Amino acid sequence: MIKRKVNTQSSTNSVITCDSYHNVQTNRTPNFNSLKNDMIEWLTKYNIPFNPTSLKPEFYEMIKSHKDRHVIYAFNELGREYAHTALRLPPYHPDLNPIEVFWATVKNNVSQRNVTFKLEDEFNKIVMEEWKK
């Protein structure tokens, strides 16, 4: 986790936004490739009833159905620590994450040429009118 110096002098609460793609989970949830024992451990930790004779895909389905209630994000915890509200935006949403417009332009340029490129060169090609949008 990245540690940052935060100004604790502010007495007003604020809302901090971050796109959903860049959220870091502090309590990793098992995925389909996790060991069966790790899945059982996760279900046990959150007191989710399960049949010990279930197969791995069944454990994973149980985890998926309960995951959202038990995920903890570092972004939220940091905001809460300083009495701020953390707001996660939907990923890749160009109206809420303006950088997505630039990424779309860069990706489009690369896909059209399908050649070796330097990312910096692609960003330098974006004209002032696009930056102003």
Mean pLDDT of the chain: 81
Question: Residue 115: what pLDDT?
Answer: 63
Average of per-residue pLDDT across 34-38: 95
pTM of the model: 0.52
In sequence order, what are the residues at sequence separation of 6 or more whose Cβ sits closer than 8 angstroms to the Cβ of residue 111? none
User: With 90 as the cut, is the pLDDT of residue 61 above it?
Assistant: yes
Q: Where are the domains of the chain?
A: 98-133
Share of the chain above pLDDT 70, in %: 83
